[in-house]
Structure 1
Amino acid sequence: MTNDERTKLQRLLGVMSNDDILNYLGSLDYVFTYLRNSVPEHALETTTIQTFVEYHIHSYACLNDNILRRPPFSTIQLQYIIDLYERIEENAFDKVLRAYVKKELVEETFTDKEREHVLHVFSRMTFEKETIAETLKSIDSWISMLKRLMIRVLNANISLDVPLQLYLERTDLWSDRVSNLDLDTFQVDDDILLQHTYVILRGLETKQKRNNQLTQQQQQKISEIQSIEGQREKVQTWFDTTARVTTGPKVLKPKIRV
């Protein structure tokens, strides 16, 4: 899926209602069940979601309309269905599930010192590590992964006193751009626990926001400098042109006597 297609999908997901997002996510889960258990040989990667559902899922009355009738969702090819699912997951977390984070996970459960320590250790051992894989150097990829972890794992009743590393090394929680070899390039201390997931996520989101603001400020300064330089060039060009006209040699026409 191209960046333009991802951007378009992101805009469309942004205006969808919370119920539609959750229903669409559930519908894709239903489609995944068929893809895992009974994939026909002629269901190619280029087959659209709509075509696959119409030909291979006999009962689809419960599926969200986006899958069957609304482009561009219905026309997305099967090879991009995981990418689509992950984007919907992130939107579902931001718009719906974030408001229902477990009490044991919220920031108020920890002191300021504890939160700062956890975030510092985690950052130093992951995306700030010099030898980490290129695919893991972006703070955005960690934010996306932690949101998936919140949705897929932390919605269930599981023990929170286990090392977070056990989940960070699971390839199914990462995008397909991250490989097993990439995940071997970092190791988070065992005292960073699953319970710290949301604290880390919030800390990374704050860092991301600061980075984006700094980038915007730098771009604005560059634009202002370029604008000033452009004005100076125009003034200099005008000055040079005017100077040549006013200082050029005068041509005297001879007077003709009658």
Structure 2
Amino acid sequence: MTAADEPKGPLSVRLARGLFTLFALAFVLLPIAWLALGSLKTRNEALALPPQLFFTPSFEAYTAIVSKGFLGAFGNSLTIALTNVVLTLLLGTPAAFALARMSGKVQDNLSFWVISIRMAPLFSVILPLYVLFKGLGLLDTKIAVSLAHLTLTLPLAVWMLLTYFRSIPEELDQAAMLDGASHLQILTKIVVPIARPMLASVAIVVFIFSWNEFLLAFILTARGAQTVPVAVASLAGTMSFDWPLIAAVSICSMIPALIFVGFAQRHIVAGLASGAVK
């Protein structure tokens, strides 16, 4: 009997699984669908009660994204997120590898110190970062927001990679050193290819955090380096809300994140497949 011919369980269990899957999909997709519908309405249609399910689609909100300069916010967010991903991986990978090859209380103390930085409340670092960047003349710049995000994503990346690097046998390092490889060559030519799935996972986490982060970007920017979350918040007036424009910007803000996650996920699958073959 092949795997395809084996029974898949009672009908009631399969039905329950199917219903649960449909409920989970509806829970995730319905808000996005409702947001997409709202972006195609006019202001009056978006605020109508009861909600209008049948209407003539309008693309004024999407044209307003270009006319009102929101493309600059998208460019800022993309630059900041990608810069943060690159800096986090460049600094976090060798740091995690060095910690993974330590032993004893030194490793435990350093590991706890690194992750404890991530545990600090965000409000505790905003004022020092603001004073620092103001003194350096970096307020309202993309590099300031990238470095501020780095203070939060770097400890998380080190902690994630440290756990993974510990699972890589040290015998591989010793064999490479016998062949004359340096520590840097061991990291770049042996450890990094093996850890490609985890590196891609870290890149996804860092990108999504930086893309969605609001508070630091709100404090450290004005107009020159304004990100998408801050730009969306600026649309919320005291008397009225441009719901179609907010919905259109929100829908468009999902696209870069989905593209990046899809690109990184391919590396996760490729790395896992390569490890399975080896």
Q: Which has the higher contact order (CA 8 A, sep 6+)?
A: 2
TM-score (structure 2 length as normaliser): 0.29
Give the helix-richer structure, 1 or 2.
Answer: 2
